């Protein structure tokens, strides 16, 4: 069973770059996309009405901004969209879908930079981290097998970005942001990719400046975190850096299908 996450940086833009072909060849059962920048009614009709995929979209109130969506071969048993906070909910950043005993949280964590790159949104970002952590911890305590996937907008360790020393004061690598991720790992959540690949130079996002991606000057800011009870079902985790179409690339995990039972 393959579950994939991808910040597409605009579903309409990525569709023009071959998203449908990628989706058909991804061999995935669930695909969570972030930063779709579209209302459900603005999704390309052949995606919205595809016979092989169930689509669930969470919209931002602001047009052309944020938003997440889940494509799944099997319709979810139920989906929750709220963090019980109007400011976060208005930005359309979360859907928590249950498939049997498996719960998949597809999340687009806020960027902390702010309009003037003054890190003014860091408190808002950290509040999102806290609220989502509390929500999935409750699910975990209730016996659910939980995956939290998406664009976390934070590189956790120095190994997770090409130039850590020059980004010490950049949102995405601030100490308080990294500590927010520490909290998850210290609570037992598994960074699935690092379970299989401990080495450097593996990134999921690159600046769109000329030549940056070609030189692999990137950041690993997209993750699939798994609750400890998913570990027996975890078979592989991957970063598909060769897939183009967005400034991010797809990531994901392969699981034993028994995780649903």
Question: Which pLDDT score is estimated for 118?
Answer: 95
Name the E strands within 76-196: 78-80, 94-99, 102-108, 145-151, 190-191
Structural domain range at position 161: 2-260
Specify the pTM: 0.98
Min mean pLDDT across 115-119, 148-152, 247-251 is at 115-119
Q: Stretch 210-215: mean pLDDT, rounded? A: 97
Question: Which pLDDT score is estimated for 91?
Answer: 98
Nearest by Cα to 60 from 33, 32, 34, 39: 39
Question: Which pLDDT score is estimated for 193?
Answer: 98
Catalytic residues: 151
Nearest by Cα to 258 from 229, 233, 228: 233
Question: Which pLDDT score is estimated for 27?
Answer: 96
Question: Which pLDDT score is estimated for 138?
Answer: 98
Number of domains in the chain: 1
Question: Which pLDDT score is estimated for 232?
Answer: 98
From CA 119, how far away is CA 52, in angstroms rounded?
A: 42
pLDDT band at residue 142, thresholds of 50, 70 and 90? very high
Question: Which pLDDT score is estimated for 186?
Answer: 98
Q: What is the CATH number of the domain that holds 144?
A: 3.60.10.10
From CA 66, how far away is CA 108, in angstroms rounded?
A: 8
Question: Which pLDDT score is estimated for 136?
Answer: 98
Provide CB contacts within 8 A for 249, sequence distance 6+: 6, 204, 205, 222, 239, 240, 241, 242, 243
């Amino acid at each position: 069973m393959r579950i994939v996450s991808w910040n597409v940086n605009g579903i309409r833009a990525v569709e023009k770059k071959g998203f449908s072909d990628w989706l058909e060849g991804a061999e995935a059962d669930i695909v969570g996309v972030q930063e779709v920048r579209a209302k459900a009614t603005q999704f390309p009709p052949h995606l919205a009405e595809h016979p092989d995929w169930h689509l669930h979209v969470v919209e931002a109130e602001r047009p052309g901004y944020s938003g997440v969506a889940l494509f799944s071969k099997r319709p979810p048993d139920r989906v929750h969209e709220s963090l019980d906070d109007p400011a976060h909910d208005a930005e359309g950043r979360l859907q928590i879908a249950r498939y049997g005993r498996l719960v998949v949280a597809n999340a687009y964590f806020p960027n902390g930079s702010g309009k003037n790159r003054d890190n003014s949104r860091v408190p808002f970002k950290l509040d999102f981290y806290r609220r989502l952590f509390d929500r999935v911890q409750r699910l975990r305590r209730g016996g659910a097998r939980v995956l939290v996937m998406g664009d976390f907008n934070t590189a956790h360790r120095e190994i997770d970005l090409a130039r850590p020393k020059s980004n010490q004061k950049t949102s995405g690598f601030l100490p308080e942001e990294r500590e927010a991720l520490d909290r998850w790992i210290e609570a037992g959540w598994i960074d699935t990719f690092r379970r299989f690949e401990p080495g450097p130079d593996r990134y999921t996002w690159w600046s769109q400046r000329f030549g940056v991606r070609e030189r692999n000057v990137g950041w690993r800011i997209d993750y699939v975190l798994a609750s400890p009870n998913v570990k027996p079902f975890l078979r592989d985790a991957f970063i598909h850096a060769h897939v183009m179409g967005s400034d991010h690339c797809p990531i994901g995990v392969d699981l034993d299908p028994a995780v649903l039972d």
